[in-house]
Amino acid sequence: MKIALASDHGGFELKEKIYKYLLDKNYTVENFGTNSTESCDYPVFAKKVCDAVLKNNYDRGILICGTGIGMSIMANRFKGIRAACLSDKFSAEMTRKHNNSNVLCLGARVLEENLAKELIDIWLTTEFEAGRHQKRIDMLDL
């Protein structure tokens, strides 16, 4: 699985830990920045990851900002992106089973590191159930 990963300054430190975590688990991961805690604009980094998923054959994207919310607002503006901003394990499972989410947004100022890793593990390993849920996904693109 190829994963595109990025953050803004608010998510930088957690993103670096997640990058190493995913590499240690033998995922193929591209780190699209940001590369420091210097202030930057989350829409720029959300776009990099969404483009990677939509145009460059990345299977999934992970975006981290302070709350995860700005990243998810931006990501969901891209047709074909289904971004989920998560902070609990149940939703991590259900958004894969029911929404086939392809981008995960996390808040570095919301989540403890270990919970962020648990959410990522669940989200990366849970399959889409398709069936009745596919019809609903087909209705998302206006």
- C-beta of 33 vs 66, nearer to ligand RB5: 66
Which of 35-54 are b and which e, b meaning 16 or more Cβ less than 10 Å from the residue's Cβ? Answer: eeeeebebbebbbbbbbbbe
Q: How far is CA 17 from CA 27, 72, 120, 137, in A?
A: 14, 20, 12, 32
- Give residues 70-109 in contact with ligand RB5 (rule: CB under 6 A): 70
Which residue stretch of 60-68, 82-90, 97-105, 117-125 sits at the interface with ligand RB5 (rule: CB under 6 A)? 60-68
- C-beta of 16 vs 93, nearer to ligand RB5: 16
Cα Rg, the chain, nearest whole Å: 14
User: Token match 């190493």: residue?
Assistant: 20
Q: Is 65 a catalytic site residue?
A: yes
Which residue stretch of 17-25, 29-37, 67-75, 81-89 sits at the interface with ligand RB5 (rule: CB under 6 A)? 67-75
Active-site position among 9, 40, 50, 65: 65
- According to CB under 6 A, which one of 51, 66, 91, 98 is a site residue for ligand RB5? 66
Smallest gap from residue 67 Cβ to ligand RB5 (A)? 4
Backbone angles phi, psi at 134, to 5 degrees: -65, -40
Q: How far is CA 31 from CA 8, 11, 28, 91, 103, in A?
A: 12, 13, 10, 25, 14
Determine, following the binding rule CB under 6 A, whether residue 67 of this chain makes contact with ligand RB5: yes
Of 78, 88, 84, 135, the residue nearest 116 (C-alpha): 88
Q: Is 133 a catalytic site residue?
A: no
Determine, following the binding rule CB under 6 A, whether residue 46 of this chain makes contact with ligand RB5: no
Which residues in this chain contact ligand RB5 in the complex, by CB under 6 A? 8, 10, 42, 65-67, 69-70
The catalytic site residues sit at 65, 98
